[in-house]
Amino acid sequence: MKKNNKQQQEMNRRQFLERLGLGSATALSLITVGSLQAIGSSRKALDDEAPEQIKMTYRVQNGTGEHISLLGFGMMRLPHEQEKVNELVDYALAHGINYFDTAPIYGGGSNETATGNALSRHPRDKYYVATKMSNQHESLWSFEKAKEMYDNSFRKLQVDYIDYYLLHSVGGGGIDNLKARFIDNGLLDFLLEERKAGRIRHLGFSYHGDVKVFDWLIDNNDKYHWDFVQIQMNYLDWTHAQRRGGRRRGDANAEYLYGRLEKLGIQAVIMEPLRGGGLANVQDDIREQLARARKDDTPARWGFRWVGSKPNVLTALSGMNRMEHLKENLETFSPLAPCTNVENELLERIADKMSGLPTIGCTTCAYCMPCKHGVDIPGNFAFYNKAVVDGRLPLPDASAPDYEEKRQAYLTAYQEAIPNKARANRCQDCGECLSKCPQQLPIPTHLSRLVEMTRKKKA
């Protein structure tokens, strides 16, 4: 817990007690009973206004004692129509989700506005909103430009304080990039002051890429007092992140990142709990294995249950742009059934098996988009990954008896799935997408491999 912000914490605590509508002695005992092991604690016990049906699992925020829904709403890919966004947000809030994560660069810049429009229709004390300093592009490294982005977040979200504020996607570009974006221009000092003033209630960072940056920020925790850190974590990346598709130096397993945070009592916000949907779309034999172990759980539910079972997780973000996804996820987390040791071991064996597959480590986040030559980068990679999982890749050996049949089937399915102008062969190898990919994938190299795959080889 950070120590530099006592006044703010007191204010938060007081607000929290008021929100409970309880005498302070009773409320304090409730707060102290709350712990990192809050699996099963329900907002119903804390909030008289909550509808009876809310069974959401909550985690207690270390600093303020606030109860955060273990399922967080990732707003990254929202429907275009505001009405549909409102409908999703209303349903989520009514069923216990209270953490909403957006960023200035999501939705081509429109995501914060849509999020703000939907949330501002509800009382401010019913939701926690997270947004970020998305100054990844060099043109935004000056203090003035970054400050403009910061001010815009308040305006677009229609708030006068932000609950969770993150340095967005640090790690790519190494320490030099971090210093240029946040340290040398005085921006981090400014954000620390904003936290003191209460306009930022919790300050953290989201991390991808060079682990030296993660270590540097954590090593300096005595100075920055991070309230939370957002990391990519799922049962595959727990011990297999380093071995997967096309990464450059320094990337780390989630086990290491989570372990460092846990030791310092910094809670983790989880992104990619299903690894861009890859863990929802598993091979048939894995699906069957999972169904034998727990017949009513989908592969997606297994992935969420694994993440939610880790006690130092504050919330796990899921991008939900369709009502059916929202409802299915709510069912998983209301309440969450933690994984048993036997189930954890099963997922470990499955992760070992998956890590041998030649999939591309794309999470379909679309940060690399748009490509000025029209390539649908995540679409191409998702198509390829699905073909790997389904065992539909063209055979590498052109003399194999069904080589041509498999190649043709793959090609036809590819042409049906990806429009002509968005195919891999449109890539001009300009390299512009490279620095935007938080997974540090060698995008043009992978695309050219995809093109090669469809070409007919001589036997």
Give residues in contact with ligand SF4 (CB under 6 A): 362-368, 371, 373, 375, 377-378, 381, 427-433, 436-437, 439, 441, 443-444, 447
Could you tell me the smallest distance in angstroms from the CB atom of residue 438 to ligand SF4? Answer: 6
Could you tell me the smallest distance in angstroms from the CB atom of residue 181 to ligand SF4? Answer: 18
- Cα dist. 380→16, 54, 375 in Å? 47, 40, 8
Could you tell me the smallest distance in angstroms from the CB atom of residue 123 to ligand SF4? Answer: 35
Closest to ligand SF4 by CB, 54 or 441: 441
Closest CA to 168 of 154, 157, 182: 182
Could you tell me the smallest distance in angstroms from the CB atom of residue 441 to ligand SF4? Answer: 5
Closest to ligand SF4 by CB, 290 or 418: 418
Query: CB–CB of 169/208 below 8 Å?
Result: yes
Of the CA atoms within 13 Å of residue 49, those in its CB half-sphere come to 9
Closest to ligand SF4 by CB, 96 or 276: 276
Could you tell me the smallest distance in angstroms from the CB atom of residue 363 to ligand SF4? Answer: 5
Could you tell me the smallest distance in angstroms from the CB atom of residue 366 to ligand SF4? Answer: 5
Closest to ligand SF4 by CB, 96 or 444: 444
Query: CB–CB of 229/207 below 8 Å?
Result: yes
Could you tell me the smallest distance in angstroms from the CB atom of residue 372 to ligand SF4? Answer: 6
Residues 6+ apart with CB under 8 A from 326: 88, 91, 92, 320
Could you tell me the smallest distance in angstroms from the CB atom of residue 428 to ligand SF4? Answer: 4
Q: CA-based angle 436:438:443, to the nearest 5?
A: 65
Closest to ligand SF4 by CB, 319 or 444: 444
Query: CB–CB of 425/451 below 8 Å?
Result: yes
Q: Is 304 left (phi over 0), alpha (psi -120 to 50) or beta?
A: alpha
Pairing of strands 128-133, 162-170: parallel
- Give the C-alpha separation, 393 to 410, whole Å: 7
Closest CA to 365 of 238, 250, 275, 236: 275
Closest to ligand SF4 by CB, 159 or 441: 441
Record the tokens describing residue 7, joined without a space.
């006044």
Closest CA to 248 of 433, 432, 440, 444: 440
Closest to ligand SF4 by CB, 277 or 378: 378
Could you tell me the smallest distance in angstroms from the CB atom of residue 253 to ligand SF4? Answer: 18
Q: Is 431 left (phi over 0), alpha (psi -120 to 50) or beta?
A: left
Record the tokens describing residue 21, joined without a space.
């509508």
Closest to ligand SF4 by CB, 20 or 447: 447
Closest to ligand SF4 by CB, 309 or 454: 454
